[in-house]
């Protein structure tokens, strides 16, 4: 699986960002961190998370076409 297709769990993201798992879920709930929902599961695309961290971790907003707005 290539990096852009890799989905990370909140636990994996918490290790990368050095946050608690709860904080990762809270950021996702607030729409501040890019995530995808698969049913009740919350996952994070590795490539988009990398882009998000490089941009300084600013709130992530997507347009209706699925492209990053801004």
What's the whole-model pTM score?
Answer: 0.74
Residues 16-70: tens digit of each pLDDT: 999 999 999 999 999 999 999 999 999 999 999 998 888 887 665 544 444 444 4
What is the b/e burial string over 33-70, where b = at least 16 CB atoms within 10 angstroms of the residue's CB?
Answer: bbbeeeeeebbbbbebbeebeeeeeeebeeeeeeeeee
What residue ranges do the domains of the chain occupy? Answer: 3-54
Can you name the CATH fold of 3-54? Arc Repressor Mutant, subunit A (1.10.10)
């Amino acid at each position: 699986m290539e990096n852009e297709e890799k989905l990370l769990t909140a636990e994996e993201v918490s290790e990368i960002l050095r946050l608690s798992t709860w904080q990762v879920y809270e950021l996702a709930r607030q729409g501040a961190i890019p995530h995808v929902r698969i049913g009740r599961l919350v996952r994070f695309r590795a490539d988009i998370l990398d882009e998000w961290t490089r941009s300084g971790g600013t709130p992530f907003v997507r347009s209706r076409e699925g492209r990053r707005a801004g």
